[in-house]
Amino acid sequence: MTDFDWHAEIERAARRLEAQRGAYLRETPLWKLSPDTFGLPALLAASGVEIWLKLEHLQVSGSFKARGMMNRLLANDIPASGVVVASGGNAGIATAAAARALGVRCEVFLPGVSPEAKRARLRALGAEVTVVGDVYADALAACLARQQASGALLTHAYDQPEVVAGAGTLGREIEAQGGLPDSVLVSVGGGGLIGGLASWFAGRSRVIALEPERAPTLFRAREAGEPVDVDVGGVAADSLGAKRIGAIAWDIAQKHVHNAKLLSDDAIKAAQSWLWREMKLAVEPAAALPLAALQTGAYVPRAGEKVCLIVCGANVDPSTLG
């Protein structure tokens, strides 16, 4: 998609989504805080670093996925058979919520790794839920077979232009709320979110990709020079469990993603626990990677840098937070 005008497509997505604000979509808060709020090294505070938290986990469906899924549905005619999606949970929840808002049928295929909290949320939204296989790729294969049989509109968790552009409206909202950050730290699974953000901030802000060591789709693709399959597992596999980076995200990342960092499960869990214990933010592991990158020193801001952490999802069982 070399000549695709992502900036224009994100603007179109924003116009579509504007009519859905309130019942389905929210403008989520942007917090601007000093590094000492997070117990980060005093050196960062002394150097004038500013930390922004984009609290997208407060989105109506509990994650950034609401933007892309609704944009996909609004941009297409929906057949009587409705919509179908494969998901680790969040894309399914967002699609089910969008389908309910528009009054259409929704089927969701989940892998065995998906937590019961996400399955329960889907059923509460009226979705027909099928659990198949162990990982996202298994659910996707079953979903594609079902779509061929039913003719339903396929909503891909991360690899469709409307989904990526919808995610890009998050970047547009950050800029409207707070201006341009110097850097944006974002978790990566299949790449829909980083594709949208990197497209919006292209040439204006640095975008840093963060992945679990046990689900390194973009990191391994950068090593190989092309998308490759990876084994996935670990604490964030339900959200960041794609086996291969999406084709759209890969194309965008080669031009506009400045670096890719890996984080251990222990670091991710520690950041997730810190956000709950110290700030009462109940987020899933995938949402904790940006803070983990700062806490571990995997990413060290420059003097005076404005660093935006994308807190991407909250579909977590609160009883698991320590």
Domains of the chain, first to last: 6-62+164-320 (3.40.50.1100), 65-154 (3.40.50.1100)
Kindly report the CA angle at 303 between 298 and 308, in degrees rounded to 5? 60
In angstroms, rounded to a whole number, what is the distance separating the alpha carbons of residues 272 and 266? 10
pLDDT score at 89: 79
Q: If we measure between CA atoms, which residue out of 158, 192, 206, 164 comes closest to residue 9?
A: 164
pLDDT in the model for residue 107: 97
Contacts of 165 (CB under 8 A, 6+ apart): 6, 9, 10, 12, 13, 68, 71, 196, 199
Please list the pLDDT of the chain residue by residue as tens digits (322 residues).
556 899 999 999 999 999 888 778 999 999 999 898 887 877 677 688 999 999 999 998 899 999 999 999 999 999 999 999 998 878 899 999 999 999 999 999 999 988 888 899 899 999 999 999 988 889 999 999 999 999 999 999 899 999 999 999 999 999 999 999 999 999 999 999 999 999 999 999 999 999 999 999 999 999 999 999 999 888 887 778 788 999 999 999 999 999 999 999 999 999 999 999 999 999 999 999 999 999 999 999 999 999 999 999 988 877 777 6
Distance CA 158, CA 87 (A): 10
| Best CA proximity match to 318, nearest among 283, 288, 271, 289 | 283
pLDDT the model gives residue 235: 87
Per-residue pLDDT, 58 = 95
User: Residue 307 — φ and ψ, nearest 5°?
Assistant: -110, 120
pLDDT at 118: 84
pTM over 0.85: yes
Tell me whether strands 50-55 and 30-33 are parallel, antiparallel or unpaired.
Answer: antiparallel
Give me the residue label for tokens 């789709």. Answer: 217
